[in-house]
């Protein structure tokens, strides 16, 4: 079964078969600068990445990039919370890219190599490029229907990805003129992600990957009244990625995984994957592989070592023998609001031994939640914070703002009442008669 030499990490087999594309591990580099050319891709394979999606190819003449391209949303300690770019697709000629892809695939036969493509939304363009890509021997293609900046102004990228009919059409052409797996990369700049996913499925896609970047302006230069990154005295919106987008990506992956038409469609999860835990979360919500861009751009390719190590140790601890075994395990527990148990009740509990009396829980609940924490002053003058259990609605706010780990815990209460959804709830004026 397992033909890879290096898919066993800490005794756990990390290999995957994603929509027919095999890889020694689920960690792929997303189509972006890290996969721009053979030099980078070879370094990535050497570092241990299971696969790469080559930087998006286009028709000649190649795209031309501007100078000053990235900006970031920083945390207070200068950690990069989110990353923004205004780059276009590859700025190298099609011929050079194809030649390098062919060579790399020959040299690294057991690593996944997927070619990202974006050409005008005309059958002739696709009909022309697909056989050239097929000839490289790469394992599959990914349709870049999501680039949110620059390319849509030319009728490509997100301009296609925001129109389900066009997605279906392009996917169909690809299936017609290309024999290997076709992955459709979705843009998050859309109201309901299920529509483009269904369109891809209708067009015959073997898988979807998501998310591409989100329209963004990260920050401004307030002295010169211009957004970043600046090009001369101007700027333009870019595409947002990095750990800040993970929650958005996770939701979109889950939406597709639990949507009836697409529930069996393989998903490559992308967006803010920075460590093994992020990867495990994407897999738990239905992803079969994950793709990484920003984390690698910030730290280099070596991070894959920690990712593989962490994931495999966690899997061993949990008894999972393969990625497949826990893929989608959290999907069934992700549901619509209306199915949540109205009778479930949880209450905040403060561990007084751990409490450092910072008062954050108190002021948070007092000012903005349910006035459920009492501030008591002891005779020594020391403060004591106590939950007023009758008032607590179990919102988690105090637990979130508390700086001490495990100091506030949310304790489920025994109500003695059975599961009852909103649809069954007598307080629901539109309750379905049962």
Partner 1 sequence: MTDNLNHLPRVGDTGISEQVLADNFRDLHPPLTERQAIIESQRCLYCYDAPCIEACPSDIDIPRFIRQIGEGNINGAAHTILEQNILGGSCARVCPTEILCEQSCVRNHDAECQPVLIGLLQRHATDHMHFDQHPFARAADSGRHVAVVGAGPAGLACAHRLAMHGHRVTIYEAEAKPGGLNEYGIARYKMTDDFARKEVEFLLEIGGIELRYGQCLGDNLSLAQLHADHDGVFLGLGLGTSRKLGLTGEDAPGLAPATEYIKELRQASDLTQLPLARRCVVIGAGNTAIDMATQMARLGADEVTLVYRRGIDAMSATGHEQEIAKANGVRMLTWARPLQVLLNDQRRVVGMRFEKTQEQDGRLAGTGETFEVAADAVFKAIGQTFANDSLSDPLAAELERTGDKIQVDEHFRTSLPNVYAGGDCIASGQDLTVQAVQHGKLAAHAIHQDLLAKQEAA
Ligand X SMILES: Cc1cc2nc3c(=O)[nH]c(=O)nc-3n(C[C@H](O)[C@H](O)[C@H](O)COP(=O)(O)O)c2cc1C
Contact set for ligand SF4, span 384-423 (CB under 6 A) = 385, 387, 392-398, 402, 404, 407-408
Cα separation, 33 vs 38, whole angstroms: 11
Instruction: Take residue 365 and report the two structure tokens written for it.
Output: 């609940």
CA distances from 24 to 108, 131, 281, 283 (A): 12, 27, 19, 16
Q: State the DSSP H helix or E strand holding residue 138, giving kind and residue range, or none if neither.
A: none
Reported for 311-318, long-range contacts at CB under 8 A and 24+ positions apart, including other chains, are 311/9, 311/14, 311/276, 311/279, 311/280, 312/9, 312/10, 312/11, 312/12, 312/14, 313/10, 313/12, 314/276, 314/277, 314/280, 315/12, 316/10, 316/11, 316/12
Contact set for partner 1, span 236-295 (CB under 8 A) = none
- 3-state SS assignment for residue 342: coil
According to CB under 6 A, which one of 187, 216, 294, 369 is a site residue for ligand X? 294
Q: State the DSSP H helix or E strand holding residue 52, giving kind and residue range, or none if neither.
A: strand 51-57
**Quick one: residue 157, left, alpha or beta (phi over 0 = left, psi -120 to 50 = alpha)?**
left
Burial 31-44 (b: 16+ CB within 10 A, else e): bbbbbbbbebbbeb
The verdict on whether 293 is a catalytic residue reads: no
Reference 47, options 308, 291, 304, 309; nearest CA is: 304
* Residue 273 interacts with, from ligand SF4, ligand X, partner 1, none (CB under 5-8 Å by kind): ligand X
* Residue 271 interacts with, from ligand SF4, partner 1, ligand X, none (CB under 5-8 Å by kind): ligand X
* Residue 162 interacts with, from partner 1, ligand SF4, ligand X, none (CB under 5-8 Å by kind): none
Q: Which is nearer to ligand X, 292 or 397 (CB)?
A: 292
- 3-state SS assignment for residue 74: strand
CB 27 within 8 A of CB 306: no
**Quick one: residue 150, left, alpha or beta (phi over 0 = left, psi -120 to 50 = alpha)?**
left
The distance of closest approach from Cβ of residue 359 to partner 1 in the complex, given in angstroms and rounded to an integer, is 3
- Quick check: 218 binds ligand X (CB under 6 A)? no
Contact set for ligand X, span 8-67 (CB under 6 A) = 30-33, 55-56
The distance of closest approach from Cβ of residue 53 to ligand X in the complex, given in angstroms and rounded to an integer, is 7
User: How many binding residues for ligand X (CB under 6 A)?
Assistant: 27
According to CB under 8 A, which one of 354, 371, 389, 419 is a site residue for partner 1? 354
**Which among 147, 174, 241, 392 is annotated as catalytic?**
147
- Quick check: 303 binds ligand SF4 (CB under 6 A)? no
Backbone torsions φ then ψ of 149, nearest 5 degrees: -130, 145
- Quick check: 71 binds ligand X (CB under 6 A)? no
Cα separation, 205 vs 266, whole angstroms: 9
Contact set for ligand SF4, span 313-372 (CB under 6 A) = 348, 350, 355-361, 365, 369-370, 372
Q: x/- contact string, 109-128, with ligand X (CB under 6 A)?
A: -------x------------
Contact set for partner 1, span 363-402 (CB under 8 A) = 363, 375, 381, 383
Crossing angle of helices 246-257 and 276-284, rounded to 10°:
20
Q: x/- contact string, 110-149, with partner 1 (CB under 8 A)?
A: ----------------------------------------
Q: State the DSSP H helix or E strand holding residue 87, giving kind and residue range, or none if neither.
A: none
Please give the residue ranges that form the binding site for ligand X (CB under 6 A).
Answer: 30-33, 55-56, 83, 85, 87, 89, 116, 144, 147, 185, 212-213, 241-242, 245, 270-273, 292-295
Please give the residue ranges that form the binding site for ligand SF4 (CB under 6 A).
Answer: 348, 350, 355-361, 365, 369-370, 372-373, 385, 387, 392-398, 402, 404, 407-408
Please give the positions annotated as active site.
147
Please give the residue ranges that form the binding site for partner 1 (CB under 8 A).
Answer: 76-78, 354, 356-360, 362-363, 375, 381, 383, 403-405
């Amino acid at each position: 079964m397992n033909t890879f030499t290096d898919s066993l990490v800490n005794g756990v087999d990390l290999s995957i078969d994603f929509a027919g594309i095999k890889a020694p591990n689920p960690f792929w580099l997303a189509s972006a600068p890290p996969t721009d050319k053979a030099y980078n891709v070879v370094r990535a394979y050497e570092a241990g990445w299971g696969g790469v999606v080559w930087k998006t190819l286009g028709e000649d003449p190649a795209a031309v990039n501007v100078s000053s391209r990235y900006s970031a949303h920083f945390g207070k300690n200068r950690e990069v919370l989110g990353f923004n770019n205004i780059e276009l697709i590859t700025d190298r000629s099609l011929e050079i890219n194809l030649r390098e892809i062919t060579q790399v695939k020959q040299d690294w036969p057991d690593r996944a190599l997927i070619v990202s493509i974006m050409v005008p939304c005309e059958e002739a363009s696709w009909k022309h490029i697909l056989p050239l890509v097929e000839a490289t021997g790469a394992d599959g293609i990914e349709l870049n229907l999501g680039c949110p900046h620059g390319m849509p102004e030319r009728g490509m990228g997100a301009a296609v990805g925001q129109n389900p009919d066009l997605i279906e059409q392009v996917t169909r052409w690809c299936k017609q003129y290309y024999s290997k797996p076709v992955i459709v990369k979705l843009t998050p700049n859309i109201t309901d992600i299920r529509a483009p996913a269904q369109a891809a499925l209708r067009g015959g896609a073997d898988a979807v990957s998501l998310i591409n970047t989100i329209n963004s302006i990260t920050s401004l230069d307030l002295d010169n009244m211009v957004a970043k990154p600046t090009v001369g005295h101007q700027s333009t919106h870019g595409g947002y990625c990095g750990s800040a987008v993970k929650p958005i990506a996770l939701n979109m992956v889950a939406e597709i995984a639990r949507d009836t038409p697409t529930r069996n469609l393989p998903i490559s999860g992308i967006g803010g994957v920075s460590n093994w835990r992020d990867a495990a979360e994407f897999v738990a919500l239905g992803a079969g592989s994950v793709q990484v861009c920003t984390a690698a751009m910030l730290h280099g390719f070596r991070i894959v070592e920690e990712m593989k190590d962490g994931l495999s140790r966690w899997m061993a601890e949990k008894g999972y023998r393969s990625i497949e075994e826990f893929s989608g395990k959290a999907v069934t527990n992700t549901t619509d609001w209306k199915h949540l148990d109205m009778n479930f009740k949880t209450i905040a509990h403060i561990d007084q031994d751990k409490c450092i009396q910072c008062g954050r829980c108190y002021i948070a609940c007092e000012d903005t939640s349910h006035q459920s924490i009492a501030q008591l002053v002891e005779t020594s003058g020391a403060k004591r914070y106590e939950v007023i259990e009758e008032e607590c609605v179990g919102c988690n706010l105090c637990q979130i703002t508390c700086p001490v780990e495990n100091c506030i815990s949310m304790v489920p209460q025994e109500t003695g009442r059975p599961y009852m959804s909103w649809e069954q709830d007598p307080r629901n004026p539109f309750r379905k008669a049962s």
